Structure 1
């Protein structure tokens, strides 16, 4: 497990031909259709503003609002607060993690939050012709949406003006975002007695996403990428596995803090929680509009329903396969084939019912593997279970050192194309598979680089 820092810019990207642009625009259409009316909570730290990346982010956020996303934006101000403290001659500096906030530090927090709020509102107010903000006309609404309370004394330490979320004015927030406005939440909350408290951006964004039952919580991280032991970016991780990493792995404290909050959000009902690098230009768009994304997405551990198949599962696997063999979608295998290869199968099981399966057949000499029998019972289709099986198979293949995953299909080519597979030829297959290829079926070949 490692975290790496990389820097990217859209300015380095090559020019695209018109046909490539049209294909890309059509490829993102399914994502556009699914996002209208969804609620996103997006959190970022003051470092993003410090690195002069605010305008690019606002342009991407304005695009999401134009596509119907209901947006709540949460900002932090740690580097700006530290700069205020330095300018005023104080030695104290805030770091990652919970720390006491003195009365003097609170004034610096107020100043920094107010300045950033105005900068964000100004960025949303841009509208120059020939820019992404032209004709945007986005209204930003901020105010006393957050009721805070003091953290108090913990282990003998008085945290003074450091606070935590008590509740949100959910009705007002829903009303604002339903009208197409962006709700802006800063790192200052107020108690019923009128006191102000310094609240961590991560805490605020996480509680907002939970209270709003948001579809997505997105943290824009300074510059880190989570990778597995083989160096691959972990683009999706089950909540249970993320909790295990937090307990067992030594990772960057800042990233660990974000991961802890994404885990909490998903555990409390947020459908998806993302950590993406803000130093990649357009990272928010790349995370949403590309199949694999460019950051780490935490999901509820539905992977608990996934397990290796056993001999006791053969009857259930056959019941899934037989209707597709009968209509010609799958090549007939027979019970003896399933019994022989049962250890290559993974099944989806819920409450004792097996409702999906997939097999992974490795060709280790060529570092390739075939994904076969990817089936979800009709009653469970359209709920993302096929996607779950695909992601699991890709992850399993990577752990085996597989570099390319291929499928043979006669009916579902578009499904695989939409998930990053590219059409190949018979010559692209492992030699053993070329020999055993059933030419009478004329199956199409699709390959995905892992």
Structure 2
């Protein structure tokens, strides 16, 4: 009996370890889930067209992509999935001793290629439907019911002869059955489209996944067009051989994307910068507000792009009359007019016209139809690897519409581009707005020495810092 009691006392503390691990999990999970919730609300009821490159399926990513799409659909998003099949068709051609031929970035589809494309499409549709039918316990698909419906939603026409090249059975989208797709989505099903279209005479045409996805997104006026691709996104600067980790541009205004396209050669391969970008630009110009280029190599890239603030790939934005950009000398008057009421009521420190003219290159602004509605300045302190965001202002006419978020995000991007590791703000009235966006309060002694010398102790501004790395 005594031995038994001794042993029981010796091992009784063991259960405390799982409780400690549970507390850590709760501590990290709850804030994370709360941070995701606004994006769940934002996207509910929206329509996303997702184009998945055949290379992603060939790389074994189908099951995780299906799980993520099922999860996205379960949170109220209407999904149209368009699959590619470039490597699968090429594999079929090799098995038949036939050579794949391309021109103008498109496949030349002869009779043999058409047969291979039909075989590959049939096999892929079977695999995709099977992936959405899985429901094993302890997987993201457990308990899910995803209805996948395909159909002859695309009417096509032949490419014809371009520059003397006969594309034979290669086609282009002539018409999208918007009513049929919309009714299917409204019944809670996911629409699955293969890159095939049919003429009114019943002739089949081999299309490209990129063109089908873009045409469908435009016809539906989808909220997002997303490409899961071989490339990580669009790089800010030309790739340098010694800098393989060059960052990508997380956001590209439509005008900037068009300028990039104009400087690039006509794309021939999916890895060419312009290959997917041209379709994103086309979609945005035709009314699709957001187009994304994401790497399928990153696990969960769809979820990271849609439900995390900074995302992971490149997003092309149709800003229409609204432009988010760096300020120029012509904007000084508009900036003064915007910030003056906030200087008068003490929210902002007063700045002279001379000071703003001197520092105008530091400012980021949002301009809508010739009027500046928001601004902020970034003053770097390179020696301390930090920078001050000052004069963040949003017009009362547009407050609550996310303009402050847009300017903050652009300032963060500028700071990262300068190699800064953090940004800080000094505020007397808007502390909680910054706390909600990842800033933490620090003592004024934290400030870089050059900024500490200019700190107004009478104003007693609170100092808040946000890490960027």
TM-score (norm 1): 0.89
Partner residue of 1:63 out of 71, 75, 83: 71
Asked whether 1:274 is paired with 2:282, we answer no
Aligned runs of 1:305-320 on 2, under 5 Å? 306-310=325-329, 313-314=332-333, 316-320=334-338
For 2:133 and 2:315, locate their aligned partners in 1 and report how far apart those are by CA, in whole Å: 31
Distance (Å, rounded) in 1 between the aligned partners of 2:207 and 2:268: 22
Q: Which protein has greater RCO, CA pairs closer than 8 Å, 6+ apart?
A: 1
Shift of 1:356: 2.2
Question: What is the Cα deviation at residue 148 of structure 1?
Answer: 0.7
The corresponding residue for 1:233 is 248
Q: Residue in 2 aligned with 1:449?
A: 468
**Residue-by-residue CA offset, 1:339-397 (whole Å, 9 max, x unaligned):** 55445334433344332222122223323221111212121233333233233333433
Deviations 1:60-109 (A, max 9, x none): 11111111001000001111111111112223356892132011110110
SS in 2 for 1:28: helix
Structure 1: gaps (5+ residues): 1-13
Mapped partners of 1:420, 1:257: distance in 2: 36
SS of the equivalent of 1:361 reads strand
Taking a change above 3 Å as real, the CA distance of residues 340 and 88 of structure 1, as seen in their structure-2 partners, is closer
How far apart are the structure 2 equivalents of 1:46 and 1:414?
46
- Distance in 2 (CA, whole Å) between partners of 1:320 and 1:383 is 17
Residues 1:415 and 1:227: Cα distance change in structure 2 (over 3 Å):
farther
Question: Residues 151 and 95 of structure 1: is their aligned pair in 2 closer, same or farther, counting only changes over 3 Å?
Answer: closer
Indicate if the aligned counterparts of 1:408 and 1:446 stay in contact, CA closer than 8 A: no
Who is 2:100 aligned against? 92
Task: Pick one of 77, 99, 102 that aligns with 2:110.
Answer: 102
Partner of 1:37: 45
Which residue matches 1:217?
225
Q: Which of the residues 424, 432, 445 maps onto 1:406?
A: 424
Counterpart contact for 1:422–1:448, Cα < 8 Å: no
Kindly state the Cα deviation for residue 260 of structure 1 after the two structures are TM-superposed.
1.1
- 1:181 alignment partner in structure 2: 189
Q: Residue 253 of structure 2 contacts residue 317 of structure 2 at CA under 8 Å; is this kept in 1? A: yes
How many angstroms apart in 1 are the aligned matches of 2:166 and 2:405?
48
Q: Any idea what the Cα deviations from partners look like across 1:159-180, whole Å, max 9, x if unmatched?
A: 1100010111101111111121
Structure 2 unaligned runs (5+)? 1-20, 238-242
Alpha carbon RMSD of aligned pairs, Å?
2.7
**TM-score where L is the length of structure 2:** 0.85
Would you say 1:172 and 2:180 are equivalent positions? Answer: yes
Instruction: Specify the alignment match of 1:10 in structure 2.
Output: none
What SS does structure 2 have at the residue aligned with 1:177? helix
Counterparts of 1:93 and 1:157, CA distance in 2: 11
Q: Do the aligned partners of 2:431 and 2:462 also contact (CA within 8 Å) in 1?
A: no
Shift of 1:441: 2.7
Residue 139 of structure 1 and its aligned partner are, at CA, apart by: 0.6
Q: 1:138 aligns with which of 146, 153, 158?
A: 146
Counterpart among 300, 310, 321 of residue 292 in structure 1 = 310
Comparing 68-77 and 43-52, the one that deviates more: 43-52
Q: 1:426 aligns with which of 440, 444, 448?
A: 444
Moved more, 421-430 or 132-141: 421-430
* Greater CA drift, 394-403 or 145-154: 394-403
Partner residue in 1 for 2:3: none
Q: Does structure 2 retain, via aligned residues, the 8 Å contact 1:82–1:94? A: no
CA 1:429/1:253 → structure 2, altered by over 3 Å: closer, same or farther? farther
Contact 2:332 2:353 in 1 (8 A): no
Q: How far apart are the structure 1 equivalents of 2:44 and 2:90?
A: 39
Q: Which structure has the larger Rg?
A: 2
SS at match of 1:375: strand
Whole-angstrom CA distance in 2 between matches of 1:85 and 1:355: 57
Superposed CA deviations along residues 146-198 of structure 1, whole A, max 9, x for unmatched, are 11111111112111100010111101111111121100010111111000000
CA distance in 1, matches of 2:276, 2:331: 41
Count of residues in correspondence between the two structures: 436
Report if aligned partners of 2:440, 2:465 keep a CA contact under 8 Å in 1.
yes
Q: Aligned partners of 2:269 and 2:42: how far apart in 1?
A: 34
Is the Cα–Cα contact under 8 Å of residues 378 and 411 in structure 2 kept in the other structure?
yes
